[in-house]
Chain A
Amino acid sequence: KQEVTQIPAALSVPEGENLVLNCSFTDSAIYNLQWFRQDPGKGLTSLLLIQSSQREQTSGRLNASLDKSSGRSTLYIAASQPGDSATYLCAVVAGTSYDKVIFGPGTSLSVIP
């Protein structure tokens, strides 16, 4: 059974720091991995989607990498800003008919001005 974990559960950094959020999954047979951002009490906003054949994706200050063999993905945020404060979730698409999405529990990020 696919399990997804995220470390750390919470992170507090001063503004301007570069930081890395980690996502691990137990079954390397995935189809894609998606990173989301969730603001308190709000919906999930898609940040980056990495196909299983890709190793990384970039969008602005965000860079996500994928290493299927080790069951790991990282989300790198450069030059963090207070507006980056949110919970970040990774989601793994597994299953033979693309019908299973397993979410990690999330990392709560606070960027201190």
Chain B
Amino acid sequence: DADVTQTPRNRITKTGKRIMLECSQTKGHDRMYWYRQDPGLGLRLIYYSFDVKDINKGEISDGYSVSRQAQAKFSLSLESAIPNQTALYFCATSAAGSAYGYTFGSGTRLTVV
């Protein structure tokens, strides 16, 4: 099993619908992140969480919300999806401290029509 699992892998949804992307990890890491990737714009941070009670906005949090249900689970919600939220979404984890790197999930390809 993958260390960081994202579901669903692919999703097509209609404008205005609410959608949730889920992430779970078996790394035992405290820190979890949501990124989106767009062609030409690279990876951009949406939200991050250092522990269950800690939630922080990233570079592009508007239109998104998150929930850290447990140390191992971090979900991303689009309350009312719009077409420019069509992107590849990644969940990542890290341990505290700079000695450790980041582990990424395989991504969720979201298309909003």
Q: Is the CB of A43 within 8 A of B43?
A: no
Q: How far does the Cβ of A94 sit from chain B's closest Cβ, in whole Å?
A: 10
Tell me, rounded to whole Å, the shortest Cβ–Cβ distance linking B90 to chain A. Answer: 6
Of B12-20, B66-74, B75-83, B97-105, the stretch lying at the interface with chain A is B97-105
The range of chain B's interface size is 20 to 34
- Nearest B residue to A44, CB-CB: B104
Interface size class, chain A: 20 to 34
| From A43, A45, A89, A98, residue with most partner B Cβ within 10 Å | A43
Q: Which residue of B lies closest to A31 (CB)?
A: B98
Q: Report if A105 contacts B (CB, 8 A).
A: yes
Q: Is the CB of A32 within 8 A of B101?
A: yes
A residues contacting B by CB (< 8 A) are: 31-32, 34, 36, 41-46, 49, 51-52, 89, 91, 93, 98-99, 101, 103-106
Which residues of B are found within 8 Å of A46, using beta-carbon distances?
101-104
A46 → B minimal CB distance (Å): 5
Known: A32-B101, A49-B101, A52-B98. A41 touches B42 (CB 8 A): no
Complex Cα distance A69/B65, Å? 38
Count: A-B pairs, CB below 8 Å: 53
B7 contacts A by Cβ under 8 Å: no
Which residue of chain A lies nearest to B9 when distances are taken between CB atoms in the complex? A41
A32 engages B98 (CB within 8 Å): yes
Contact B106 A42, beta carbon cutoff 8 Å: yes
| Contact across chains for B102 and A101 when beta carbons are under 8 A apart | yes
- B64 at interface, CB cutoff 8 A: no
Q: CB-CB < 8 A to B94: which residues of A?
A: 98
In Å, the complex CA distance between A81 and B39 comes to 25
Are A99 and B101 within 8 A (Cβ)?
A: no
**Is B107 a contact of A106 with CB atoms below 8 Å?**
no
* Nearest 6 pairs of A and B residues by beta carbon: A31-B98, A43-B106, A49-B101, A44-B104, A103-B43, A105-B42
6 contacts between A and B (CB under 8 A): A31-B98, A42-B106, A43-B104, A46-B101, A52-B98, A89-B42
